[in-house]
Amino acid sequence: MKPRVYLATAALLMLSGAPLAAQDASKGEAVFKRCRACHAIGPGAANKAGPALTGIVGRKAGTVPGFNYSDAMKAAGAGGLTWTDDKLAQFLEAPDTTIPGNVMASAGIKNPTDRADLIAFLKLHR
């Protein structure tokens, strides 16, 4: 019995010692389920109803090749919008009011922890 308890304790310690970002990203993957209907991500991801999100963090808005963006999203990119953590967080909280006229039909992610986890997940796919 005892060795098992030790093993379990060691496993727990290893888990809690893991980098925070990795834990957040794995929770973020679950949050990303709310995006998958319209967005693919990862190597070779294709555009769906929404543009592929591979490499989205740090990229200029409205610039995935072959995706037919709204004028509002194209204008945001042309006006200098780059998807930093902060800009993504603002947009994902309230897509329609952050970029009026964009056509992403999503209510947004209101919970700040969910949003942070989601952005950590997006960053895994550069």
Interface residues with ligand HEC (CB under 6 A) are 34-35, 37-39, 49-51, 53, 56, 61-62, 64, 69-70, 72-73, 83, 88, 92, 102-106, 109, 118
Q: Which is nearer to ligand HEC, 7 or 126 (CB)?
A: 126
117: phi > 0 → left, psi -120 to 50 → alpha, else beta; which? alpha
Q: Which is nearer to ligand HEC, 22 or 49 (CB)?
A: 49
Whole-number Å distance between alpha carbons of 91 and 104: 10
Shortest Å, Cβ 41 to ligand HEC? 9
Q: Quick one: which of 32, 76, 39 has its CA closest to 54?
A: 39
Handedness of CA 44, 49, 51, 52 (dihedral sign): negative
Shortest Å, Cβ 35 to ligand HEC? 3
Burial class (CB in 10 A: 0-12, 13-18, 19+), 34: middle
Shortest Å, Cβ 21 to ligand HEC? 17
31, 109 contact by CB (below 8 A): yes
Q: Which is nearer to ligand HEC, 22 or 78 (CB)?
A: 78
Q: Which is nearer to ligand HEC, 38 or 45 (CB)?
A: 38
Shortest Å, Cβ 43 to ligand HEC? 17
